[in-house]
Amino acid sequence: MGAGHAHRLYRHGHSPVHALPPHTKLTAVFCFVVVVVSTPREAVWAFAAYALLLASVAYAARVPPLFWLKRLLIEVPFVAFALLLPFVAEGERTEVLGCP
């Protein structure tokens, strides 16, 4: 019954990344998120390395840049808010585990 149906976010492809089992890709994404979140914000070089890693995986998966750039547009309001927040936030500062 599902033959011929595809979601518009689905990108059919034949690459080493597409050939990986789904659980491997989900585990890799989960581990990547944990590593990125646990990286100290002062380690800018690490975030550049993460961006390079993501770009290389997208290249290996043969995903065109326009395809994933369109999907990154949803992030623009969140990034803008995160950049603006230190300048407009008021109120008391809270310490968590000794860090201001």
Q: Which residues pair with 99 in a beta bridge?
A: 96
| Helix-strand-coil split of the chain, %, nearest 5 | 60, 0, 35
Position 14 pLDDT exceeds 70? yes
Question: Using alpha carbons only, what angle is made at residue 17 by residues 13 and 22, rounded to the nearest 5 degrees?
Answer: 95
Is residue 95 included in any domain, yes or no? no
The whole-angstrom separation of Cα 31 and Cα 24 is 11
Is residue 93 included in any domain, yes or no? no
Is residue 41 included in any domain, yes or no? yes
Is residue 55 included in any domain, yes or no? yes
What's the pLDDT score for residue 78? 92
Q: Please count the structural domains in the chain.
A: 1
Q: What average pLDDT does the segment 20-40 reach?
A: 94
Which residue range is the domain that position 59 belongs to?
16-88
